[in-house]
């Protein structure tokens, strides 16, 4: 049986033990809460870091997608074209190297330029100064493949391609038939001419009229051979092509013509690989074997071309005819036994035994350039110029 004192002692002991046990219970939620906050804080920090990293990655991705996407495939020249043997040439010294047509663009690319020149059927294309495109059928004004330059300017519309430089052309040449007649230096076209014909060069038009005034025609399908054959069939020894589609025939230059030029660079309307003169200039061809010639006729020998004088150089007899030739004139003068016979202005004939009114064999004229009205193969003097023949 327990005594009061024992019971009191036991109660005190239990009370002490309860206090000792209760302490951990009351402190446990505090520790757990602290641990939980720490965990949440760490989680939040990790989440923030992850979000920041994700945002950074997103920005980087956005920046990457804004940059040009480069193809892994090698760039090739558009079909129908090739880089010229001299990929970069200097501009012409007296004008543009390529003169047929041109355009400029703030988004220029090689493809745009070549397509543009293709549209005009031009065999040569050049890009210059990042945004300029030029087309032509020859290199002109002093430009050639040997005049190389530095092309270092990117195209306005394609930074990976070069579009010439300052005074320098990135040059491309057609691989189609329109480039077949180009010379090796691209400065001229090699043309197969009809037998006996050759090029005389480029000449300015006449000062007071056409340089070649015998016969002419125009066509949207003109080329060198068609013009030459046309003039040949008309009885002329000279053929001139002008302005891309015009053909002129004669046996000599007229109206003050004869001055050479350098701008015969317009392609023929019916042969884009060939030049058909230019604006006010003719590409001229000739066949000397077809030139009018009559060194003798009916026993009269040609003395030369002399100046007509006031009152006429020969006054004994005269006649005119739309079928005049050297032979009909000398035959007319011979019938009356005259020493001299002369044809003038294509259709006039004069006879006499001596030169009068101050006329003289020493007064030479260069104007005996008119064909006879009755024969395109003979010359019958000119304006105030006599083709003089003598039987002596």
pLDDT tens-digit map of 9-39: 444 443 434 443 333 333 333 333 333 333 3
Say if residue 83's pLDDT is above 50. yes
What is the distance between the alpha carbons of residues 276 and 143, in angstroms, rounded to a whole number? 19
How many helices (H) and strands (E) are present in the chain, helices listed first?
4, 22
Nearest of 178, 165, 164 to residue 119 by alpha carbon: 178
354: confidence class by pLDDT, cuts 50, 70, 90: very high
292: confidence class by pLDDT, cuts 50, 70, 90: low
Report CA Rg, the chain: 48
pLDDT tens-digit map of 163-203: 999 999 999 999 998 888 888 889 877 778 888 999 999 99
- Mean pLDDT within 354-374: 88
- Exposed e or buried b for every residue in 64-86, given b needs 16+ CB within 10 A? eeeeeeeeeeeeeeeeebeebeb
Highest mean pLDDT among 260-264, 290-294, 383-387: 383-387
As assigned by CATH, the class of the 81-179 domain is alpha beta
Say if residue 103's pLDDT is above 70. yes
- CB under 8 Å to 123, separation ≥6 — which residues? 137, 173, 174, 176, 178, 179, 182, 272, 273
- Exposed e or buried b for every residue in 268-295, given b needs 16+ CB within 10 A? bbbbbbbbbbbeebbbbbbbeebebebe
pLDDT of residue 345: 96
What is the distance between the alpha carbons of residues 14 and 286, in angstroms, rounded to a whole number? 142
Domain extent listing, the chain: 81-179, 198-290, 296-390
pLDDT of residue 134: 97
What is the distance between the alpha carbons of residues 185 and 138, in angstroms, rounded to a whole number? 9
Q: What share of the chain is helix, strand, coil (3-state, %, to 5)?
A: 25, 30, 45
Please classify residue 234 by burial: count the beta carbons closer than 10 Å to its beta carbon, then call 0-12 exposed, 13-18 middle and 19+ buried: middle
pLDDT of residue 96: 92
Highest mean pLDDT among 116-120, 339-343, 382-386: 339-343
């Amino acid at each position: 049986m327990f005594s009061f004192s024992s019971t009191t002692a036991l109660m005190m002991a239990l009370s002490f033990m309860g206090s000792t046990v209760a302490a951990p219970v009351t402190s446990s939620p505090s520790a757990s809460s602290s641990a939980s906050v720490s965990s949440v804080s760490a989680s939040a920090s990790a989440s923030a870091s992850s979000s920041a990293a994700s945002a950074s990655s997103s920005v980087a991705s956005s920046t990457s997608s804004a940059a040009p996407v480069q193809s892994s495939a090698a760039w090739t020249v558009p079909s129908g074209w090739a880089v010229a043997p001299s990929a970069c040439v200097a501009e012409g010294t007296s004008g543009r190297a390529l003169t047929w047509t041109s355009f400029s663009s703030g988004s220029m690319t090689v493809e745009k330029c070549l397509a543009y020149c293709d549209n005009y059927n031009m065999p040569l294309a050049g890009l210059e100064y990042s945004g300029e495109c030029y087309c032509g059928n020859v290199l002109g004004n002093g430009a050639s493949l040997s005049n190389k330059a530095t092309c270092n300017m990117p195209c306005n519309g394609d930074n990976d391609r070069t579009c010439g430089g300052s005074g320098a052309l990135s040059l491309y040449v057609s691989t189609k038939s329109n480039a077949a007649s180009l010379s090796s230096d691209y400065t001229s076209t090699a043309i197969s001419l009809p037998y006996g014909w050759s090029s005389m060069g480029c000449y300015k038009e006449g000062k007071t009229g056409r340089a070649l005034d015998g016969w002419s025609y125009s066509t949207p399908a003109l080329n060198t051979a068609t013009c030459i054959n046309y003039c040949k069939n008309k009885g002329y020894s000279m053929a001139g092509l002008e302005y891309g589609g015009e053909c002129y025939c004669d046996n000599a230059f007229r109206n003050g013509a004869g001055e050479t030029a350098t701008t015969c660079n317009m392609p023929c309307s019916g042969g884009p690989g060939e030049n058909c003169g230019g604006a006010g200039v003719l590409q001229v061809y000739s066949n000397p074997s077809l030139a009018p010639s009559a060194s003798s006729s009916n026993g009269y020998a040609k003395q030369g071309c002399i100046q007509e004088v006031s009152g006429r150089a020969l006054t004994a007899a005269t006649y005119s005819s739309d079928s005049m030739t050297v032979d009909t004139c000398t035959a007319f003068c011979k019938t009356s036994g005259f020493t001299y016979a002369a044809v003038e202005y294509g259709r006039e004939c004069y006879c006499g035994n001596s030169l009068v009114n101050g006329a003289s064999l020493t007064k030479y004229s260069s104007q005996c350039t008119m064909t006879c009205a009755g024969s395109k193969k003979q010359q019958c003097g000119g304006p105030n110029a006599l083709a003089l023949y003598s039987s002596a």
